[in-house]
């Protein structure tokens, strides 16, 4: 009897990328992975962390107090970036895992959101009910927020190019030395214009909510994701991406979209 062919992988997982200072490189890498995925028709799962940063939305950068916000954050050791897709301010740090599902196709908007949201829910099935839906008083509210026990633990956004889509989620794994929610709330406090109402009690993290200290290890969360879907490792590290993809990605973000970044104790570049 002929043996059946092995199941093709749902996606290929990149090596966990760690960024220490600038945020722009993380998004250049992601853009390059989108171009690679489109060229090769390979789905990718890209995972990364940053030491201490704030991803802002275009509306945040239009606020009157934005220059003071940037100055204050950079003075506290944060990198700041106005990201190339929707949403509002999100703090990221070593306790936040960023995962991006890159698909060389163009599914409908909601279908793409649900593809990643339902995967994340399935990865946490052992920890109780995870709801998909907007947590209105949390930072960066969206229709595909994930909440465990009523507390937001993740938010999802997406970026589209012709023939490829990247659906990105931040996942709060564990608490750090500052309050992420209080940081965003203070950012909007000086504004007289209408800004999001932030409730300090509605955003949390997996260690706090589950008492499972294994979530201190980002590889534990990734292992739960890869136990749900058939995922294989890529044959390359992110930094080994073919130069043509990275150069084009850099041009797209810095020239076409004019993506702006501020580094700790430095001026914008």
Domains, in order of start, for the chain: 11-262 (3.30.930.10)
pLDDT in tens, 41-80: 999 999 999 999 999 999 899 998 999 999 999 999 999 9
Q: Which of 28, 73, 90, 140 is catalytic?
A: 140
Active site residue 74: no
Using a cut of 0.85, tell me whether the model's pTM lies above it.
yes
pLDDT in tens, 92-111: 999 999 999 999 999 999 99
Residue with token string 């501020």: 262
Dihedral of the alpha carbons of 40, 41, 47, 48, in degrees to the nearest 10: 50
pLDDT of residue 239: 76
pLDDT in tens, 196-222: 789 999 999 999 999 999 999 999 999
Using a pLDDT cut of 70, give the percent of the chain over it.
95
pLDDT in tens, 139-184: 999 999 999 999 999 999 999 999 999 999 999 999 999 999 999 9
Q: Report how far residue 156's alpha carbon sits from residue 13's, in angstroms, rounded to the nearest whole number.
A: 19
pLDDT at 1 exceeding the cut of 50: no
Closest alpha carbon to 154 in 109, 99, 200: 99
Mean pLDDT to the nearest integer, 119-133:
97
């Amino acid at each position: 009897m002929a043996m059946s062919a092995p199941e093709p992988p749902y996606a290929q997982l990149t090596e966990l990328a760690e960024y220490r200072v600038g945020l722009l490189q993380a998004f250049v890498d992601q853009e390059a992975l989108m171009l690679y995925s489109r060229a090769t028709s390979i789905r990718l799962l890209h995972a990364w962390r940053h030491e201490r940063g704030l991803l802002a939305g275009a509306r945040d950068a239009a606020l009157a107090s934005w220059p003071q916000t940037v100055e204050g954050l950079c003075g506290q050791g944060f990198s700041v970036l106005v990201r190339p897709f929707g949403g509002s301010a999100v703090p990221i740090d070593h306790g936040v895992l960023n995962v991006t599902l890159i698909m060389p196709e163009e599914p409908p908007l909601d279908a793409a959101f649900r593809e990643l949201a339902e995967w994340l829910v399935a990865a946490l099935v052992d920890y109780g009910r995870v709801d998909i839906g907007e947590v209105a008083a949390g930072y960066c509210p969206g229709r595909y927020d994930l909440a465990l026990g009523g507390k937001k633990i993740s938010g999802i956004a997406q970026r589209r190019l012709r023939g490829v889509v990247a659906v990105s989620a931040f996942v709060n794994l564990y608490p750090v030395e500052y309050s992420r929610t209080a940081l965003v709330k203070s950012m909007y406090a000086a504004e007289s214009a209408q800004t999001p109402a932030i409730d300090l009690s509605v955003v949390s993290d997996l260690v706090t909510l589950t008492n499972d200290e294994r979530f201190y290890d980002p590889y534990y969360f990734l292992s739960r994701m890869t136990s749900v879907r058939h995922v294989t490792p890529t044959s390359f590290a992110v930094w080994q991406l073919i130069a043509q993809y990275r150069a084009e990605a850099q041009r797209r973000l810095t020239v076409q979209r004019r993506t702006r970044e501020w580094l700790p104790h430095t001026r914008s570049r």
